[in-house]
Amino acid sequence: MFTKTELESMLLGAQWVSQYGDAPLSEGAKEALNKIFDVLPASIKNENNAFTLRVGPPAPEKMAKENLSTIRDAIAKQNKIELVYKSQDRKETQRVIWPFTIGYFTDERILVAWCEKDNDYRHFKTDRIISLKVLDEHYLLSKDSLFRGWQRMQLQKLALKRK
């Protein structure tokens, strides 16, 4: 049996995903919450309204309707993606990327990938992706090693900022 703190953590996490995940993840979190509540003992269910942990306001409608399943599937299978992206200065660029993680935030989502064009890690705001095509081609490194390399780079940047 989960402790009260463990249960609160899971419920809060699932509530957050139900509000800030893309549409399929949001729906999955809601279904998971229903399943969790279905199997809780009555003594805990009766305390359910006693949980005081809540997630903030819902995500904007545009984010709530976004569907990143194709990208998540490409990451899981380590497939390259060809995308057309609108940069901050509104220029459209075409790139082939090696996607390996998506950051979900309350106000935006960021796809992190290795970019073949720049030969470097890049961050792509998902709402600026104009189109994408998952390629049959797999990327050379594992998504875990890409993540660790990106993480090292982020830590180095942070260390330089602190100096």
Quick one: 38 and 102 in the same domain?
no
Quick one: 74 and 53 in the same domain?
no
- Hey, is 96 helix, strand or coil? strand
Note down the domain range covering 53: 4-57
**Cβ distance 113 to 100 under 8 Å?**
yes
Residue 58 has pLDDT above 60, yes or no: yes
Quick one: 83 and 111 in the same domain?
yes
Point out the least confidently predicted range of 110-114, 125-129, 137-141, 156-160.
156-160
Rounded to whole angstroms, how far apart are CA atoms 113 and 102?
9
Mean pLDDT of 124-141: 96
Quick one: 103 and 158 in the same domain?
yes
Do the bridges between strand 92-104 and strand 79-86 make them parallel or antiparallel, or are there none, so unpaired?
Answer: antiparallel
Count Cβ atoms within 10 A of the Cβ of residue 113 and give its class: 0-12 exposed, 13-18 middle, 19 or more buried.
Answer: buried
Mean pLDDT of 60-74: 94
Rounded to whole angstroms, how far apart are CA atoms 4 and 44?
9
Quick one: 82 and 43 in the same domain?
no
> Does 90 reside within a domain?
yes
Confidence (pLDDT) at 41: 73
- pLDDT interval class at 46 (50, 70, 90): low
